[in-house]
Homo-oligomer: A and B are copies of this chain.
């Protein structure tokens, strides 16, 4: 084995030198979670992009809507697994375990959601999310019909697609930066 790798290929700014609003956001997360998830430090390299990224993230992941918070995290974990994004699978896998109150679900969904302990409706949701992630150019009426047959409405379909699309961005950013997941995430929600 080797020593742990750095948390980013790019320079990581010092918390003390960050703009006030970004520092505040980071301190708030730290207070709530007990540690600073590395994505906050890695993206703080670019304050304007940091602000847009987290505003966008919250608009999708914190908004009201029919998809449960656990279901939104399933979309993140399944598409991030397909994109081989270590940070997103490990960090959002932790959140998924907690939100779903299920210690097994994150690994199941990340590796092969078709065999996870989820409902048929959730599998249809992930079939669509994966198509958005991997082959959006071919999305068509048949895909919308399949979702509607599972009682997803137009608002839900937009939500699924928007989360898959946002993590297409997020996975690529994390992979290029070689963003390293915090050790804390690996064990959260496992018992």
Contact = CB atoms under 8 A, between A and B. Distances in A.
A88 to B, nearest CB: 9
A136 B10 CA distance: 16
A124 interface: no
Contacts of A5: 115, 117
Contacts of A89: 107, 111
Q: How many copies does the complex hold?
A: 6
Contacts of A187: 103, 190-191
A19 interface: no
A2 to B, nearest CB: 5
A171 B86 contact: no
Interface in A67-116: 81, 83-86, 89-90, 100, 102-105, 107-108, 110-112, 114-115
A54 to B, nearest CB: 9
A138 to B, nearest CB: 7
B136 A171 contact: yes
Given A55-B51, A112-B86, A136 B190 contact: no
A151 interface: no
Given A86-B111, A169-B169, A176-B132, A1 B56 contact: no
Residue of A105, A136, A166 with most chain B CB atoms under a 10 A cut-off: A136
B111 A90 contact: yes
A100 B139 CA distance: 26
A11 B154 contact: yes
A183 B165 CA distance: 26
A48 interface: yes
A52 interface: yes
A148 interface: no
A70 to B, nearest CB: 8
Given A103-B187, A172-B161, A187-B190, A84 B111 contact: yes
